[in-house]
Amino acid sequence: MLVVKIGGSIQKDERDFELIANRISQYSSRDRTIVVTSALKGVTNSLIEATENRDKAVEIVSEIYDRHVKLLSKIVDGPEFDNAFKSISKLADELFRIAWSIKVLDEISARVRDYILSFGERMASVTLGAMLRSRKMDAQSYPEPLLVTDDSFGEANVIEDLSAMEARKVLDIPSKIVVVPGFIGKTPTERYTTVGRGGSDYTATLLGKLLGFPEVRLVTEVPGIMTADPRKFPGAKTISRLSLEEAMELAQMGAKRLHPRTFEPMFDRDIRVYIEGLYDEGYTLVQGTCDSSDKLKGIAVLDDLKLISVESTNIVGKIGSAARVMEKAREAGVNIISLSQPASETTIHIVVDSKNAERLSSRLQELRDVDSINVQDASAVSVVGCGLRNKELFREVLREASSFEVASISRGLRNVSATFVVKKDEGFNLAKDLHEVVVKWIN
Ligand code: ASP
Ligand code: MG
């Protein structure tokens, strides 16, 4: 039994669907298969645009509808086409009505936004299911959410026991393959929600856990997770195995735009997760926790950051001064990417996205007892690998980093990552040097 997630970036045209059909047929010949689908390429972005440019909402919806119908006419024939056309048209009707109302009212709530976004994945699951049936595969679409969530629209939290009950419904469907939507959920009162951008990966691993399936395959554009972005680091390679801790750290820091919670469900279940390409052979297997064969695996670079340093000789040793600084970040609605304070307690360093720096630093000006607030361009360069727990390897990494002016070093989950905050113009060179160490140690 396995879960196969089909990404949105690999759902563009007939050729893609040909490859997708082959891949699903290969897996389902072996086992019962739950296929989790993303919306077709670009559809979620278009739906978001409709919620923002409400004037154009109806036009955008009509483009999305046309795209699905056109695609259906190419990849689905006979009676399967008629059925799928009816289902897609019915969904589109519902979506047209919402698009009209947000256009007329020129207003939208977080709840309605999620409702609108849900159509991308719902339409995709109808389309994909029909395509498989049209190829005489034993498949069924179930275009409704299997995840039950709270009502934090846009970034909803899954309620696992209710979701497990809901998810088991697909096991009663007597088809070998069931196609379900990723990314979306519903509240106990049946409102559509979404679990955050890229959420289909997370949906797939979570369904693996809730259904007790041992294997999850995330099929995407690239054949696995790489040691670094190959466009910027020419020696980058595919990582063949990642431990769970390493995968968590890499996903969290933005590797391959995976949903940051993708690997979370694996912590309490023994699940194998493959990240594999549709076009090229190759994959990354994520399984188990750190073992002695794990050395260094990859780097992650965040380079559009600001380092905000709050300096004060008055805050030294005063209980609550760090809390007051952090409270300002909360008030400003700013996410903190990294933070540190030397034991002298004279400075607090906060790293945030560049776009949030101004908002936070102006709030920080309100603090009494602060001597100065400095803001500078920064990069956070991280190395990931269980081998960082090994003294010799850690020393080698530190040696590379020591040629740079490092503002702070921090360690990640179970010490399998190390993040160096440096000036922005040093970020790339540090990353390049650290990547060379990684490539030397990858096995
Ligand atoms: N369609 C959603 C997005 O674009 C979810 C996903 O693709 O995983 O964010
Ligand atoms: Mg996607």
List the domains of the chain with CATH numbers. Answer: 2-221 (3.40.1160.10), 298-441 (3.30.2130.10)
State which ligand 1 atom lies nearest to the alpha carbon of 200: 8
State whether the beta carbon of 119 lies less than 6 angstroms from ligand 1: no
Is the CB–ligand 1 distance for residue 145 below 6 Å?
A: no
**250-277 mean pLDDT:** 88
Confidence (pLDDT) at 258:
84
Q: Which of 218-222, 248-252, 272-276 has the lowest mean pLDDT?
A: 248-252
Output the CA 41–ligand 2 centroid distance in Å.
7
Centre of ligand 1 from the C-alpha of residue 234, in Å: 28
Compute the distance between CA of residue 422 and CA of residue 378 in angstroms, rounded to an integer.
6
- Please give the average per-residue pLDDT across 384-412, as a whole number: 96
Q: Does ligand 1 lie within 6 Å of residue 185's CB atom?
A: no
221 lines ligand 1 (CB under 6 A): no
Q: Is the CB of 385 under 6 A from ligand 1?
A: no
Tell how far the Cα of 39 is from the centroid of ligand 1, in angstroms: 6
How far is 156 from 63, CA to CA, in rounded Å?
28
8 CB within 6 A, ligand 1: yes
State how far the Cα of 103 lies from the Cα of 51, in Å rounded to an integer.
9
Query: Does residue 347 line the site of ligand 1, with CB under 6 A?
Result: no
Distance 259 CA to ligand 1 centre (A): 9
Q: Probe ligand 1: pick from 195, 200, 257, 258, max atoms within 8 Å of CB?
A: 200
Q: Tell whether the model's pLDDT for residue 256 goes beyond 70.
A: no
C-alpha to C-alpha distance for 272 and 267, rounded to whole angstroms = 11
Q: How far is CA 310 from CA 333, 343, 370, in A?
A: 18, 14, 7
pLDDT for 2-53, tens place per residue?
Answer: 999 999 999 999 999 999 999 999 999 988 999 999 999 999 999 999 999 9
Ligand lying closest to the C-alpha of residue 123? 1
Which protein residue has the closest C-alpha to ligand 1 atom 8? Answer: 198
Tell how far the Cα of 166 is from the centroid of ligand 1, in angstroms. 21
pLDDT of 213 higher than 80:
yes
**88-92, 320-324, 383-387, 436-440: least confidently modelled range:** 320-324
- 197 CB less than 6 Å from ligand 1? yes
Tokens of 192: 């559509």
Please give the pLDDT value at position 50.
98
Q: Are 246 and 196 in contact (CB under 8 A)?
A: no
End-to-end CA distance of the chain: 30
